[in-house]
Structures are given as C-alpha cells and as structure tokens.
Amino acid sequence: MFFGTLTILIILTVKIWPATELALFQEDGLIESGTAIADGIAAILGFHAIHLGVTRNKTMLDRLAMWTIPVLSAICALDEISWGARLFELEMPEMQGGGEFDGLHDVFVILERMASNAEPMTLVFTTILIMAILGGLLYWQRSFIAACLHYSVSSNLGRALASAIILLAFATFLDFGHGRILSSLEEYAELSAGLFLLLAACYSLKMVYASRKTAYLNRAGA
C-alpha cells in the first residue's frame, strides 16, 4: 500500500513537473540520496536503541529484529552510496563481463552471469541441489520460520521490518531487469524499504522509552 502510494505520488510529480525527473532519478539524485539518508538515520537510531538497552529482557525474536534493523539499514545505506566509491573517488574491483563491484546487489549480477554461462546440465543440477538444500533448511527450521511469520504480522516492529525486507527482495529482483520502468520501480522499492526501516528503528527507540517510563513508574509506586 505504502509502496504503491509512493510510486503514484512520484509519477504524478514527474507528470506535473517534468523537469523534476532528472533530479529525482539521476545517479545520486533525490530518490537515491533520500534512500541513503533514510537508511543511515535508521541505522543510527537502531544502534542507539540497542545502546540504550532495548534488547534487555526481550524475547529472542525481539532481539533478532532489533539487531537486524540497524545492521540491515547500515548495509543498505552503504550500498546506496556504492560503499563510498563515488563519494571518495575509490577504485572498485572490476567484474567479469563489465561493470564495477560497488554493492551487494552485484553479487546477484555475478550469479546471473555465471548461470547464463553455465552448461545446461550443470545449471539444472546446481539448481536442484540448491533447492534441495533450501527445502531441507526450511523444513528443519519450520517452527522458527512460523514464529517469524507470526511475529511479522503481530507486532508493529515486525510488520515494519518485514515490509522493508520484502521491498528489498523485490528491488533485488527488479535489478535483474532492464529499462526505465523497472529501474524506476527499483528506486521506489528501495526508498520505501528505507522508510520502513526508519519506521522500525523509531518503534525500537520508542520501546526503550516506554520501558524506562514503566520502570520509573514502578519505582515511584514502590
């Protein structure tokens, strides 16, 4: 819902003010910069919440979510600025087949190129093997996965984090495609994910102050 609304708003903005398209979608433009800023702030808030003790006396899933928020946000922020390649004019490693390795999404680009160059039988065997391993892991951890799914729909923190992860996965999938529309959707998805991570970090920080308020009231009542 949020992703769709954001997409429509950006499309309307470009339609009404065509001159904004370049500023929005160029390399290091407003959308990409906004995504990096949102991710960066989310990382700072998330780590700050952990520093303040948000993970104390929490369930394992709560702690996992609270650590995932700042770590994932930091990785996304660094990925958006190509790990400082353009900012500090760093030379990044060249990838076989063209391009520079300047982000984690390039891992999937490398895998795609390896798959396209592999022999058909090798590709089929590798795919079956990977699917079998993933299937085994999913079955082995089915209880944990079910608990994570329940957590992702039953708590504000879980919903925000799950939304961000889904949007990041969607953006990664779109990265395999080519064309203006797919590239734009990828940018929308990454920006939406960054905003959801920021929301999750705010929830995490809010939990700190709620716990402190409860502790203060308990001491005052005693």
- In a domain? residue 92: no
Instruction: Convert the pLDDT of each residue in 23-59 to its tens digit.
Output: 555 666 677 888 889 999 999 999 999 998 888 888 8
Residues contacting 110, CB < 8 A, separation 6+: 95, 96, 101
What global pTM score does this model have?
Answer: 0.81
Task: Print the domain residue range for 179.
Answer: 2-83+104-221
Instruction: Convert the pLDDT of each residue in 145-189 to its tens digit.
Output: 999 999 999 999 999 999 999 999 888 887 776 656 667 778 888
Give 124: exposed, middle or buried? Use CB within 10 Å, 0-12, 13-18, 19+.
exposed
Residue 114 to residue 218: CA distance in whole angstroms: 60
- In a domain? residue 93: no
How many domains is the chain partitioned into structurally? 1
- In a domain? residue 41: yes
- In a domain? residue 129: yes
